[in-house]
Amino acid sequence: MSRNDANPENRSKRVSFPIMGLKDESSMKATDERKTPDRLTADDYGQLAELQSSLGRVSRLLLNGGSLEQALDAMEEALGNPVAVIRRRGGEWRSGGIDAVAAITEVTDVAAHVKREGGPAAASGFIGTGNGRRAYVHWISKSGDNPSAIALIECNRPVVALDLLTLARLSAFVDLEMSNIDAVREVEGKYLELFLQDWLAGKIVSERDWTLRAEVCGCDIMQKGRLYAAVVGIPGAGGEAADGKLAELSSLLRARGRLPGRELLAAVYGGDLVLIVTEKEEEGPGPVETTAEAKLQELLNELREELDLPAMRLFAGRPVSRPELLPASLSQANRAKQVAEVCGLAGDVVPYDNLGVYALLYLIPGGEEREQFLRRYMDPLQQADRKGGGRLAETLEMFFRCNGNIKLTSERLYAHYNTIVYRLDKIQNILGVSLDDPEDRLQLQLSLKLGQLSPGSY
């Protein structure tokens, strides 16, 4: 081989094809970087295809008459995590996986966030929950006084960017379905209002009649369990706009009436906001009356928070076994409300069974004998008070409330001990009775309570 042939630069002259040298490392790296955008674009197309498939499944489901809950189940399948739609007022919708992964706390936390942060300035993003998980909250509607959001709860796998994009796109379908739900509710609400008015008025006389009308109105409540009526006491609810305000509260409660183990309907009837409540029967032994009152208090606490009315009270009738008997429960609830307000009965919840002797006195019809009984004991004290006798009727009532304790009576009335003793002696002299005689004390207590049920008696 000649020196010229051995020269590397002349090697290509001895073969019939070009000789390519190996590229250095930096050159190969640059080539790979130029190819990378093409591969990422292909991945993006795959993700977009997956997104389009998810959108198609949910849209076809809703167009074919599927419910919002079914759509949420399809979204959960696509996103790999449970989802929930929550409004500040007007209900919650959940995918089936929420119960399976025990994500109830997360839904409660999201609901509190929606109620607290909802408004034009609300921003979508992750929030922490009580169980140490995260939930991504995407606002569907931020305008008006009832904002709503869809939440993706991070339970099964980490939430990635594609999940957030999918959630944002699917929220448009959810918004349309919620508008459809609102429209249906508005129509059904008019028929439901008529049905509830007839039900509470006692115009539905058989269970079969009730069942037929309830099905037409979409009133699907439990057929078995405790069914009772409760009247809501709202301070300052009177006035020209009372009916409109009560109607608004009624609509809010109807929209959010179904809770685990309890269902609730609301209607404006007789100038009051009336609740129709059904609850599952308690199983096993236990103090039923205490349980019933505790459940009433629990219901009241939920209503106070939901309606933002901290001073409201509940007056409840006895449970009935059949729907057509509900007017009797409503009558008892009204009686409990009247007696509690007139007689100053304490308590946030007043079941009819807690009225005690007032329930019997309430049944005594007005007549000559009733008036004579009141005149025998109340008229003399009223006349003495008008002449400056020193609040005798009030002192006697407080004396009985304090179980005959004169010292406690003087403290409650902000009067000297001797003043109370003087008033009690004067009462005994005027009426010709002895406060040491049990029979006389019973007569006086009954006259006071009966007088409380007869406005203007004293």
CA distances to 11, 227, 263, 328 from 195, in Å: 102, 17, 17, 17
Q: What average pLDDT does this structure show over 322-331?
A: 91
Termini Cα distance of the chain: 139
What is the SS3 assignment for 309-320?
A: CCCCEEEECCCE
Pull the structure tokens for residue 130: 């009580």
In a domain, 286, yes or no: yes
Q: Vertex 232, ends 228 and 235: CA angle to 5°?
A: 165
Ramachandran region, residue 232 (left: φ > 0; alpha: ψ -120 to 50; beta: rest): beta
Residue pointed to by tokens 């009225």: 355
pLDDT value at position 458? 43
pLDDT value at position 39? 47
Q: Is the pLDDT of residue 262 over 80?
A: no
Q: Which residue has the higher pLDDT, 15 or 82?
A: 82
Answer yes or no: do 266 and 231 share one domain: yes
Answer yes or no: do 317 and 375 share one domain: no
Domain boundaries, position 154: 62-177
pLDDT value at position 407? 92
In a domain, 30, yes or no: no
CATH of the domain at 67: 3.30.450
Among the ranges given (304-308, 319-323, 420-424, 429-433), the one the predictor scored with the smallest mean pLDDT? 304-308
Given pLDDT bands bounded at 50, 70 and 90, which one contains residue 12? very low
Q: Which residues contact 446 (CB under 8 A, 6 or more apart)?
A: 357, 361, 373
pLDDT value at position 145? 72
Given pLDDT bands bounded at 50, 70 and 90, which one contains residue 378? confident
C-beta separation of 207 from 322 below 8 A? yes
pLDDT value at position 260? 53
Pull the structure tokens for residue 440: 């006389």
Q: Which of 288, 323, 357 is the last residue of a domain?
A: 357
pLDDT value at position 279? 74
| Maximum separation of any 2 CA atoms in the chain, in Å | 153
Q: Is 277 helix (H, G, I), strand (E, B) or coil?
A: strand
In a domain, 93, yes or no: yes
Q: Which residues contact 388 (CB under 8 A, 6 or more apart)?
A: none
Answer yes or no: do 101 and 168 share one domain: yes
Measured between alpha carbons, how far is 330 from 320 in angstroms, rounded to an integer?
A: 10
Given pLDDT bands bounded at 50, 70 and 90, which one contains residue 90? low
Q: What average pLDDT does this structure show over 314-330?
A: 91
In a domain, 132, yes or no: yes
**Structural domains counted in the chain:** 3
pLDDT in tens, 39-70: 445 555 566 676 677 777 777 877 777 788 88
Q: Is the pLDDT of residue 107 over 70?
A: yes
Answer yes or no: do 352 and 372 share one domain: no
Answer yes or no: do 260 and 388 share one domain: no
pLDDT value at position 222? 57
Q: Which of 357, 373, 390 is the last residue of a domain?
A: 357
Among the ranges given (77-81, 181-185, 376-380, 400-404), the one the predictor scored with the smallest mean pLDDT? 181-185
C-beta separation of 116 from 56 below 8 A? no
Q: What average pLDDT does this structure show over 66-90?
A: 85
Answer yes or no: do 134 and 114 share one domain: yes
Beta strands, E only, 283-352: 313-316, 349-351
What is the SS3 assignment for 228-276?
A: EEEEEECCCCCCCCHHHHHHHHHHHHHHCCEECCEEEEEEEECCEEEEE
Q: Which residue has the higher pLDDT, 16 or 194?
A: 194
pLDDT in tens, 350-359: 999 888 777 7
Q: Is the pLDDT of residue 282 over 60?
A: no
In a domain, 14, yes or no: no
Answer yes or no: do 247 and 270 share one domain: yes
Given pLDDT bands bounded at 50, 70 and 90, which one contains residue 126? very high
The secondary element (H helix, E strand) that includes residue 134 is strand 134-141
Among the ranges given (222-236, 238-252, 376-390), the one the predictor scored with the smallest mean pLDDT? 238-252
Q: Which residue has the higher pLDDT, 387 or 282?
A: 387
How does strand 226-233 pair with strand 313-316?
Answer: antiparallel
Measured between alpha carbons, how far is 199 from 327 in angstroms, rounded to an integer?
A: 7
CATH of the domain at 321: 3.30.70
Given pLDDT bands bounded at 50, 70 and 90, which one contains residue 239? very low
Q: What average pLDDT does this structure show over 343-347?
A: 76
Residue pointed to by tokens 């439901």: 192
In a domain, 400, yes or no: yes
In a domain, 52, yes or no: no
Q: Which of 306, 337, 357 is the last residue of a domain?
A: 357
In a domain, 297, yes or no: yes
pTM of the model: 0.56
Measured between alpha carbons, how far is 103 from 72 in angstroms, rounded to an integer?
A: 15
pLDDT in tens, 175-188: 888 888 778 777 77
Q: What average pLDDT does this structure show over 156-185?
A: 85
pLDDT value at position 243? 60
Best mean pLDDT range from 28-37, 47-56, 102-111:
102-111
Q: What average pLDDT does this structure show over 318-342?
A: 88
The secondary element (H helix, E strand) that includes residue 93 is strand 92-94
Q: What average pLDDT does this structure show over 282-295?
A: 60
Q: For 270-273, which contacts have Cβ atoms below 8 Å and span 24 or more sequence positions?
A: 270/334, 271/242, 271/243, 272/231, 272/232, 272/246, 272/334, 272/337, 273/231, 273/232, 273/234, 273/237, 273/246, 273/249
* DSSP H stretches of helix in 387-437: 392-401, 406-412, 417-431
Answer yes or no: do 296 and 230 share one domain: yes
Q: Based on DSSP, count helices (H) and strands (E) in the chain, helices before strands.
A: 16, 11
Q: Is the pLDDT of residue 433 over 80?
A: yes
Query: If you average pLDDT over every residue of the chain, what do you get?
Result: 78
pLDDT value at position 356? 78
Answer yes or no: do 257 and 150 share one domain: no
Given pLDDT bands bounded at 50, 70 and 90, which one contains residue 228? very high
Q: Is the pLDDT of residue 26 over 70?
A: no
pLDDT value at position 365? 65
Answer yes or no: do 350 and 369 share one domain: no
pLDDT value at position 18? 47
Answer yes or no: do 66 and 164 share one domain: yes
pLDDT value at position 330? 94
Answer yes or no: do 389 and 270 share one domain: no
CATH of the domain at 431: 1.10.10.2840
Q: Is the pLDDT of residue 256 over 80?
A: no
Q: Is the pLDDT of residue 331 over 90?
A: yes
